[in-house]
Copies of this chain bind each other. A is one copy, B any other.
Amino acid sequence: MLTPSLSISEESHRQDSANLLIFIILLTLTILTIWLFKHRRFRFLHETGLAMIYGLFVGIILRFGVHLPQDLNDITLTCAMNSSPTTILVNVSGRFYEYSLKGEVRDSKGHDVPNAEMLRKVTFDPEVFFNILLPPIIFHAGYSLKRRHFFRNLGSILSYAFVGTVTSCFVTGLVMYGCVVFLKVIGQLGGDFFFTDCLFFGAIVSATDPVTVLAIFNELKVDVDLYALLFGESVLNDAVAIVLSSSIVAYQPEGDNRHTFDGSALLKSLGVFLGVFSGSFAMGAATGVMTALVTKFTKLRDFPLLETALFFLMSWSTFLLAEACGFTGVVAVLFCGITQAHYTYNNLSAESKSRSKQLFELLDFLAENFIFSYMGLTLFSFQHHVFNPLFVIGAFLAIFLGRAANIYPLSFLLNLGRKNKIASNFQHVMMFSGLRGAMTFALSIRDTATYARQMMFSTTLLIVFFTVWVCGGGTTPMLSLMHIRVGVDTDQDNSVTAPDGMTQKSTKHESAWPFRLWYTFDHNYLKPFLTHSGPPLTSTLPACCGPIARCLTSSQAYELHDEDTELILNDDSSLMYSDMTVSTDAHGMPTPSTSQAGLYSLARTSDDPLDRELVFGGTRLVLPTDDPSDPLTSFPPPPPSPPLSDPLRHRV
């Protein structure tokens, strides 16, 4: 009685629900086991590794354990046409059914596998990863970036992420090309594998994963600079790998030229790479700035629900906007996350701050565990695996060499310029911690139509499993082997342990002038314009812009400034004397002392822990030093402040 005649779409809807239910149950089991592991303080296996193991088990059960009768509704018919429209209408005895294009498929070989239909059904559309699961992970990475340490090491991070990833991509690609040629010579290659395929493989396996190792680092409170280097690199190289792989695909030579490599194609790829990257960056930053402006100039903060909803929607719209314009949504979302944390976060009400953090934390957690359990599942549910042992060995060698070619030469070059050297034990840990995760998987599953792509996908899965289980599990022993300090307070850093003069000098030298310029500009103009904090624009803009400045400056900026000055006055009057004159006598010129005043004051009043970190990064950069060539420090240095209990005062 409860099973009335079901239409085909109802039947397929029930099947879809059941498939999704498998994943929900998997995630629930993973959560319970994670709890058990955390509860019993097991650290040899991270939650992502756990999720993969559960996925593996379910994959084995689906493949070998259950034997379902072949679904009768699933007869695959073939009809010949001359083009592939996005929609076709099928006339079935007078009734019309609409079909939509799902994509190109290879003629399915693997139909001898038991439960082939069911396995095909639990296989998600790869676009789900790019459009639904990756954006929250990447946004959260940007939003929760520890910006103080990130910006302090920005030069090195950018070098690793851009130069390093491209190097790694080419080294891996070349090694793989050698491997492929060798395989072809000994007759072990079952299909075409071009040089561009090798480069593509290099690009996708060069994306390191910010999740697994860093969760352990965070828990063990590993040295903050090492953490910043690894985190910054792995977040940014995801973006680099996406754009790199898509530009390799977009400009791969067609037809007979595929065996050679064309120089002009390389240049074109580079052009695409730069265009897409900067476009995505600009779009992400623009949406972030717009959100900041909206939250600043409306009183939306009186209604935290509306505010959170707006924040969520604007962040999501970045992704859609970038995708609609042909840029890369995931990259845009990363920079949007950084901008939102840097500006918008300051304008939010306390409730929205915690709401938005918790929301994105939850989304990130769910998406991550979903991807990792799905990875485990695909090892058995994917039906076109091509496992070639020699190719796999070659790939492991190639990623090892590629990672080494990224870390060691670049660290050597960076150490030439860095005062605060990247020690060799840091370099070894960075080498070891180059896990491959969600991004590598998503990039490799996106297209599994050709023989080359299928072999890449199977190999990539093995690489992810190996690095997550072995390198992820070995992180703790590796850290103790390399004598890396653990248990470091995040608000301190190792430069504090050096004598005061040394610290300031090394800090100053750590950052090149473009970054210092940017900090000053950001602090004096962008922050006051986009947020409620910072020095009033009336004091930083030239006098002629007075009316506009008054209009754009939040009333809170003045208040905060005054309150703050008082606070600091009571605290240490000798230090703040010059500040007083600046903040009350706003003569409208961006003098060095003004900017310093702003920095001091901001550091003391901002209620945003993220922001405070950055501001201190900023404060350190304009601190008076004995270098007379620095235009920002051409005023007498304040006397050193007495040691205070407030850990944030360490560097003042």
Contact = CB atoms under 8 A, between A and B. Distances in A.
Interface of A: 1-6, 8-9, 12-14, 17-18, 20-21, 24-25, 27-28, 31-32, 34-35, 38-39, 73-93, 95-107, 127, 131, 250-251, 268, 271-272, 275-276, 279, 294, 298-300, 302-303, 305-306, 308-310, 312-314, 316-317, 319-321, 323-324, 326, 329, 355, 358-359, 361-362, 365-366
A299 B32 CA distance: 10
A95 B24 CA distance: 36
Copies in the complex: 2
Contact of A99 (B91, B99, B314, B359): B99
A106 to B, nearest CB: 7
A8 B102 CA distance: 10
B365 A362 contact: no
A102 B101 CA distance: 10
Given A27-B313, A85-B75, A294-B32, A250 B80 contact: no
8 contacts: A2-B272, A4-B251, A13-B323, A39-B302, A75-B83, A77-B85, A79-B88, A98-B103
B78 A84 contact: no
A127 B10 CA distance: 10
A312 B365 CA distance: 12
A277 to B, nearest CB: 11
A310 B106 CA distance: 39
A308 B20 contact: no
A105 B99 CA distance: 10
A85 to B, nearest CB: 5
A5 B74 CA distance: 33
B100 A100 contact: yes
Nearest to A39: B299
A86 B99 CA distance: 9
B12 A101 contact: yes
B88 A92 contact: no
A86 B96 CA distance: 13
A91 to B, nearest CB: 5
Given A8-B84, A12-B86, A355-B358, A25 B317 contact: yes
A134 to B, nearest CB: 14
Given A9-B103, A32-B300, A99-B100, 10 more contacts: A2-B279, A2-B326, A8-B101, A17-B329, A38-B306, A78-B91, A95-B104, A98-B101, A99-B99, A355-B362
Contacts of A76: 85, 87-89
A35 B1 contact: no
A316 B24 contact: yes
Contacts of A308: 358, 362
Contacts of A78: 88-91, 96
B88 A73 contact: no
A77 B99 CA distance: 10
A533 to B, nearest CB: 22
A119 to B, nearest CB: 14
A101 B298 CA distance: 46
Nearest to A97: B84
Contacts of A303: 35, 38
A464 B365 CA distance: 39
A314 B28 contact: yes
A576 B31 CA distance: 43
Nearest to A20: B320
A106 B96 contact: yes
A74 B76 CA distance: 23
Contacts of A355: 358, 362
A299 B34 CA distance: 12
B306 A34 contact: yes
Q: Which of A9, A31, A74, A279 gathers most chain B CB within 10 Å?
A: A31
Contacts of A319: 17
Nearest to A80: B91
A526 to B, nearest CB: 23
Nearest to A74: B86
Contact of A359 (B28, B91, B324, B359): B359
B95 A79 contact: no
B104 A32 contact: no
